[in-house]
Amino acid sequence: MAHDHHHDHDHEHGSELSDMQLRTRALETILIEKGYIDPAAIDELIETYEKKIGPRNGAQVVAKSWVDPQFRKWLFEDGTAAIGSLGFGGRSGNHLVALENTPSVHNMVVCTLCSCYPWAVLGLPPLWYKSAPYRSRTVADPRGVLADFGIALPKDTEIRVWDSTAELRYLVVPMRPAGTEGWSEEKLAELVTRDSMIGTGVAKSPKELT
Partner 1 sequence: MNGGQDLGGMHGFGPVEPEPNEPVFHAEWEKRAFALTLAMARPGGWNIDMGRFARENRPAGEYLAMSYYQVWFAALESMMKERDLVAEDEIAAGHSLHTPKKVERVLSPADVLKVLHRGGPTERETNTKPAFKPGDRVRAKTINPPTHTRLPRYVRGRIGEIERVIGCHVFPDTNSLGAGENPQWLYTVRFDGRELWGPQGDPTATVSVDAWEPYLVPA
Partner 2 sequence: MNGAADMGGMHGFGPVVPEDNEPVFHAGWEGHSFALNMATGVAGVWNLDAFRFKRESLPPAEYLNLSYYGLWTRTLELMMLEYGMATPAEIAAGHAIAPFEKAPQPVTAAQCANMVRCGSPYNRPAPAPALFKVGDKVRAKNMHPTYHTRLPRYARGHIGEVVRIVGCHVFPDSNSQNLGEDPHWLYTVRFDGRDLWGEGSDPTVRVCIEAWEPYLETP
Q: Does 127 bind partner 1 (CB under 8 A)?
A: no
Count residues binding partner 1 (CB under 8 A): 8
Task: Kindly report the number of other CB atoms within 10 A of residue 193's CB atom.
Answer: 19
Q: Look at strands 158-163 and 105-110 and give their pairing.
A: parallel
Contact partner at residue 3 from partner 2, partner 1, none, CB < 5 to 8 Å by partner kind = partner 1
| Least spacing, CB of residue 50 vs partner 1, in Å | 29
Range in contact with partner 2 (rule: CB under 8 A) among 69-77, 115-123, 174-182, 202-210: 115-123
Distances (CA, A) of 172 to 118, 121, 129, 198, 202: 10, 11, 15, 6, 10
* Residue 114 annotated to the active site: yes
Q: What whole-number distance in Å separates Cα of residue 50 and Cα of residue 69?
A: 32
Query: Which 61-100 positions form the footprint of partner 2 (CB under 8 A)?
Result: 89-95
Contacts 24+ apart (CB under 8 A), 67-74: 67/183, 67/185, 67/188
Kindly identify the residues of this chain, within the stretch 134-163, that bind partner 1 according to CB under 8 A.
Answer: 136, 140
Q: Which amino acid is at 147?
A: A
Q: Which of 4, 35, 152, 207 binds partner 2 (CB under 8 A)?
A: 35
Catalytic residue among 15, 114, 184, 205: 114
Contacted by 34, from partner 1, partner 2, none: CB < 5 to 8 Å by type: partner 2
Pick from 97, 68, 85, 76: which is nearest to 176 by CA?
Answer: 68
> Annotated catalytic, 115?
yes
* Residues contributing to the site for partner 1 (CB under 8 A): 1, 3-5, 8, 132, 136, 140
Which residues does the annotation mark as catalytic? Answer: 111, 114-116
